[in-house]
Every structure is written in structure tokens, then in C-alpha cells.
Structure 1
Amino acid sequence: MYDAYRQWQRFTQAGVADNETFNYDIFLLYKEHVAYVVDNDNQTCTGYPLYGDYQPIVIPGDAYLLAQSFIGSSSEPREGVLVNTWSGNLPNQEGLYISTVTQFGCVPVNSMYHTRKYGWMILQYIDNVKGLPDPDQLIPPPFCLDPAKVGFSAQKPVDFLDLFQQMM
């Protein structure tokens, strides 16, 4: 979820790897130049200096259309969703992106990013809701906002792709 006005984003990652469950939230606060990675299972928060510009979830004007297709079926009404797949170069990155959005409403379905540093990364957008029913969900938990409880990483500043790869 995101708030384009405040330039805040939140990504959730949950699953099982090596018979261990994980449940993370990544909060990106671009105007504040800080990112928080929250381990919800352990109630811990790590802060990172954040660099890079906020990238709205839109298809840029210089993107080119790769294909139009249906997810599901086009045989019967309401059996599929018409989507457009776009591609272009990543801003300030050596790489490219491929993004699929619905034809009507331009609702994001997925985005794939390729960089020399990380190779391919895929981001799925599931259970999209237009609008932001509860803007407070973009605020990191209280224990992240207490400097005494946040473990700030001493490493160099990170961007979205650095954090995304780190969480994989």
C-alpha cells in the first residue's frame, strides 16, 4: 500500500522458508529518507537510511506496450481480466522493468525488475483496494519510532530494490 502525497509505501512479506515462517513489513518513508524493516514475529525493527526518489506506482510516459492479454479466459463474460504489459528502463538504475496493469483502471497486477546487481525480482500486487481505508497502516509500529528500541543499520543507504533483495 502507498500514499503518493506523503511518499510512504508499505510492503508485506510472509511465508515459509526452510520450515521457518517469516512475517515482515517494509516501511519506506521517502520524504524522511528512512526505511524500517519490521520482523512481526519477533517484534523487532531495523532502520536504514533510504536514498532514491519516490517512484509512483504508474506506467511512465516513456514506457512501451509489450502486449495486451487476458488473465483467465476471454471466452465468457466475467471470466477474465484484460491487462496491458509495459516495459521500460529503470530510473537511476542499470536495468529494466516490466509491469502489468489492468486495461480498465490501470490497477497494478505485477512488476518485474532486472538489474545487473540483483537479476530478476518480481513484485505481485494482491487484493488491491482503491483508496486508503486506514492511512494509519502506513505508520510504522510505535516500537520503530522509539530511537532507543530501533536497531539502525550502519551500512550505506539503501533503496527499494536493495531492501527487496535483502528480504528474499
Structure 2
Amino acid sequence: MRVIIVLLTFLAACGAKNPEPCTSPALLSGQLTLSTQNEQLWAFARYMYDALGQRIRLQEMGFYQNKSFTYDALLLYREGVMYEINQQDVTCKKRALRADFHPMAVPRNASLMGQAVLGSSSGPGQGVLVDTWTGQLPDNGKEACEGNLQSSLICQFYPAARYLITVTEFGCIPISTSYKTKPFGWIVTSFFNNVIGISDPNQLNPPAFCQDALHEEPVDFFSLFHMK
């Protein structure tokens, strides 16, 4: 019996594959928190992510420089525009979106830091296996800037930023990302209540009252996370 157990353990180890960089599902929705090391910003957001249509919706509330804010942004990368939506006042602002769309993914040149179990490995359903990756964003902001929702803008405005990305081993569901920048220190995003799919796809289309919105200044990292 002991020989059989040892043999099965050996075969399982031989069959196991080392984690490899992965891409998250094309349709995701859930919630996230974002904060900066210098304590200038904390935000909670509901997000919807559509890699097929290259669309992202962020509905935020939080604090910046000790002042509270709410913010609703719809990013349409194919059209190159972002809408700032105010459902309460039925108003809309339209901005040029100066960023390429990059799928949520672990960059191909990332290095694996290791695996860990969130929760407990003592029993079934008590934990989840995750992989943590590290690396550095490209210098010019034009190479592959895969990562989480804000990675392409961080890559554009803070080139060569160091990062940490944690995703589930199975499914490549985002858990957390951290980017180190000079102005803010570490910018940390934590994802939770993730669901594969989008329950209401209409939320990824601009409301009717946005049709006559006028173009304003282009989008940058600060405006996306209301840091102005």
C-alpha cells in the first residue's frame, strides 16, 4: 500500500505543470478597492469588463485628499472615448481616451514569485490557490502593458513601474495588483465578488442623454480615478 501511495504521489508531481502567465476571462464583473501608499486616495468601485467589445465601466465612490466623491466612467476603447456619467443630474461629459486597450492578463515576461492558498488548505472549499507574479512595465508605454484595469494608463504615464499581480491558479481571476510609482508610492487594487459574465450588457453602452455630450480634455490616469 505504501508503495502505491508513493507511486501515485510521484506521478502527480510529474504531471503538475509550473504556472504560466495567463489571460483573464473576456467578460468579467465584480467589485474592487483602490488605494495609494501616500493615503491620498481610497476608492471602492463596481466594475464591468468586456474584452470582446473593449469596454470598461467603473462606478466609484471614495475619498481623495480627504474629500469624498462619486464617479461613473464608461471607457470605450474602440471609439477612443470615455463618458463621465451622472445619472442623478442626467448629464454626461465626453472625453478623448488616450490609451490602447489591453486585456486583463499576467504580462508574458512576468516572473513567478510563488503560489499560496488564500484561506485554508485544511478542507475542501476552505481556500483558493493563487499565483503571484512580478515584473516591470515597459519604458515607452507602447509595448505589451497587460495587467489589470488601470495598467495601460499607468504604463503610459508611469513607464517602468514595478508591479505585483496575483490571480487564481485556475481561471486567472484577478485577486490584487500593485504598481509602484514615484508620486503615490504603491497603487494597490484588490478585486472581490468576481463573476464571469455581465448581467446587464446595456450598462456598457452610453445612456441616451450622452448622445449630445461635447468633447472635453483627454483622459489621463488622474481623471480616470478622479485624482484631480
| TM-score in same-fold range (> 0.5) | yes
TM-score, normalization: structure 2? Answer: 0.61
In the alignment, which of 33, 46, 51 is matched to residue 98 of structure 2?
51
Q: Distance in 2 between matches of 1:116 and 1:87?
A: 18
- SS of 1:137's equivalent? helix
Q: Distance in 1 between matches of 2:185 and 2:84?
A: 22
Aligned match of 1:83: 130
Say if 1:165 and 1:13 are closer, same or farther in 2 by CA, change over 3 A.
closer
125-134 vs 112-121, greater mean Cα deviation: 112-121
Q: Name the structure where helix makes up a greater proportion of residues.
A: 2
Say if 1:41 and 1:48 are closer, same or farther in 2 by CA, change over 3 A.
same
Q: Which amino acid aligns with 1:88?
A: G
Q: Distance in 2 between matches of 1:109 and 1:10?
A: 18
Aligned match of 1:7: 54
1:16 shift after superposition? 6.7
Residue pair 2:110, 2:134 contacting (<8 A) in 1 also: yes
Aligned match of 2:111: 64
1:99 to 2:146 alignment = no
In the alignment, which of 216, 221, 224 is matched to residue 153 of structure 1?
216
For residues 48-103 of structure 1, give each alpha carbon's deviation from its aligned partner in whole angstroms, at most 9, with x where no partner exists: 21112101111121111122112212222211111111122234131132211111
Say if 1:122 and 1:142 are closer, same or farther in 2 by CA, change over 3 A.
farther
Residue pair 2:71, 2:226 contacting (<8 A) in 1 also: no
TM-score, normalization: structure 1? Answer: 0.79
* Paired residues, number: 161
Aligned match of 1:132: 198
- SS of 1:128's equivalent? strand
Aligned match of 2:3: none
Whose relative contact order is higher, 1 or 2, with alpha carbons under 8 Å and at least 6 apart?
Answer: 2
Residue pair 1:23, 1:39 contacting (<8 A) in 2 also: no
Q: Distance in 1 between matches of 2:134 and 2:89?
A: 38
For residues 108-141 of structure 1, give each alpha carbon's deviation from its aligned partner in whole angstroms, at most 9, with x where no partner exists: 1122222335432222322211123332121122
Q: Which amino acid aligns with 1:89?
A: Q
Residue pair 1:23, 1:41 contacting (<8 A) in 2 also: no
Say if 1:85 and 1:23 are closer, same or farther in 2 by CA, change over 3 A.
same
Say if 1:122 and 1:43 are closer, same or farther in 2 by CA, change over 3 A.
farther
In the alignment, which of 111, 121, 130 is matched to residue 74 of structure 1?
121
Structure possessing the higher radius of gyration over alpha carbons = 2
Q: Distance in 2 between matches of 1:39 and 1:112?
A: 29
Q: Distance in 2 between matches of 1:135 and 1:43?
A: 20
- SS of 2:75's equivalent? strand
- SS of 1:127's equivalent? strand
- Percent identical among aligned pairs is 42
Aligned match of 2:181: 115
Gaps (5+ residues) in structure 2?
A: 1-47, 142-154
